[in-house]
Structure 1
Amino acid sequence: MNETVRARAGRARSRKPPTRTNDPERTKADILEVAEAEFGEKGLAGARIDAIADATKTSKRMIYYYFGGKEGLYLAVLEEAYRRVRDIEAELHLDDLEPEAALRRLVAFTFDHHLHHENYIRLVMSENIHRGQFIARSRRIQELNVPAIAAIRRLYGRGVKAGLFRKGLDAVDIHASISALSFFNVSNRHTFGVIFKVDMASRAYIGHRRDNVVEMIVRFVRK
């Protein structure tokens, strides 16, 4: 078992109450936490239900009962990962800020979230290897992303109306640009760092890169 999975398992075990078997929601949450690390490290093909069951002190039968099998658990992990990021986005209160300030907050949040949630990036990369076939089965993930695009559309619309942002941009395209610039810094950190001899984990690099990403998006949208 790798260090990440062991760490997740340790946190899950430390939270377990004596009446764990009578707390299905806590049991499922523990399984999802450890499974996120397992799928993030090994992908769908390499992840093992036995390892997840062992790490959470549950049984394969319980995991199959709650999630219907390995693919069902993988999809549940994807849904939970997307739910968390969208829930936090909803707490940014972008509608309460001036358009440019709201945009800067959203970009900075996305950059920071991706930086500190490498398993989220790994899961998205894994799902792209599978050509999005599991996400395509999830109505929940589709619904989770509707408010995120709506928030950008409102933000951008306010900026256009105020004469701050240029006309003709699409909310999904803005979202794609924010995601791409934030995603790359994590997904390609090892290859990019080795090729160009850059320490992408250093505080100086991260801070500089974060500022640049925010500024690039603002200048892309600004009138």
Structure 2
Amino acid sequence: MRDADATRARILAAAKKEFAKRGLGGARVDEIADRAKANKRMIYHYFGNKEDLFRIVVEEAYVDIRTAEQTLELEHLPAREALEKLVRFTWDYYLKNPEFITLVNSENLHKARHLKKSEKIEQLFRRFVDMVGDLLDRGVEEGVFRPGIDPVQLNITIAAIGYYYITNRFTGSIVFQRDLMAPEALQERLEFNIETIMRLVCVSP
């Protein structure tokens, strides 16, 4: 059983790299097998076909970020501090896990047809939205957040202000004539993201 789990983990890690690099269409099962030190028969045995493997990789990418968010223990912090910590975490996660962004981009190209088949995603995101909703409610009770903010819209905004910057870092560096990935530029952007969200949510930023 341990050998089977280890093999499955190696295949998933190899598939994540291959799909992130080449997308679903360009990824090759042979390359995944070589990376995982497995064979194609084992991949098909554990995961079915290439489409199923891609779906599981995308699922696991979302599981990873949502699991990491749970370790923040935001419920134990004052609401403003918790929200700032969430914004910082999201930004740092995107920077440290570029494969997450490329996998999400790839699935969007396929109009989320793989996630539509997922049994994990709805429950996973319901728990996350509830966490953000509880944070907002706590902030209203503390008198620091405005009432009536939709936790889904807030999450989309937090994701968007980091996601767009990173996915457009190459073209943006040319268009705006600055190195968007320089350490000082990344820190400036993080501070801007935090200020933006606080001005959106707080009674008095």
TM-score range, shorter chain: over 0.9
Query: What is the CA distance between 1:158 and its match in structure 2?
Result: 0.7
Q: 1-side partners of 2:4 and 2:140: how far apart? A: 48
Query: What is the CA distance between 1:185 and its match in structure 2?
Result: 2.1
Task: Give me the TM-score of the superposition, normalised by structure 1.
Answer: 0.88
The equivalent position to 1:47 in structure 2, one of 12, 15, 27, is: 27
The equivalent position to 2:41 in structure 1, one of 61, 64, 76, is: 61
Question: Do the aligned residues in 1 keep the contact of 2:55 with 2:115 (CA within 8 Å)?
Answer: yes
Spell out, residue by residue over 1:173-222, the C-alpha distance to the aligned partner (whole angstroms, 9 max, x if none).
Answer: 01010010111122111111122122122110001101110111111001
Query: What is the CA distance between 1:22 and its match in structure 2?
Result: 5.9
Counterpart residue identity of residue 80, structure 1: E
Q: 1:201 to 1:69 in 2, by over 3 A?
A: same
Equivalent residues in 2 for 1:146-157, closer than 5 Å? 146-157=126-137
Match status 1:95 vs 2:70:
no
Q: 2-side partners of 1:114 and 1:89: how far apart? A: 13
Question: Do the aligned residues in 2 keep the contact of 1:86 with 1:148 (CA within 8 Å)?
Answer: yes
| Alignment match, 1:120 | 100
Indicate the SS of the match to 1:152.
helix
5+ long unaligned stretches in structure 1: 1-20
| Alignment match, 2:181 | 201
| Same amino acid, percent of matched pairs | 39
Question: Do the aligned residues in 1 keep the contact of 2:94 with 2:162 (CA within 8 Å)?
Answer: yes
Q: 1:22 to 1:156 in 2, by over 3 A?
A: closer
Q: 2-side partners of 1:180 and 1:141: how far apart? A: 19
Spell out, residue by residue over 1:22-48, the C-alpha distance to the aligned partner (whole angstroms, 9 max, x if none).
Answer: 611111111111111110111100000
| Alignment match, 2:201 | 221
| Alignment match, 1:79 | 59
| Alignment match, 1:160 | 140
Question: Do the aligned residues in 1 keep the contact of 2:13 with 2:36 (CA within 8 Å)?
Answer: no
Q: 2-side partners of 1:22 and 1:210: how far apart? A: 41
The equivalent position to 1:179 in structure 2, one of 139, 145, 159, is: 159
Match status 1:24 vs 2:1:
no
5+ long unaligned stretches in structure 2: none
Indicate the SS of the match to 1:166.
coil
Q: 1-side partners of 2:15 and 2:178: how far apart? A: 32
Question: Do the aligned residues in 1 keep the contact of 2:23 with 2:103 (CA within 8 Å)?
Answer: yes
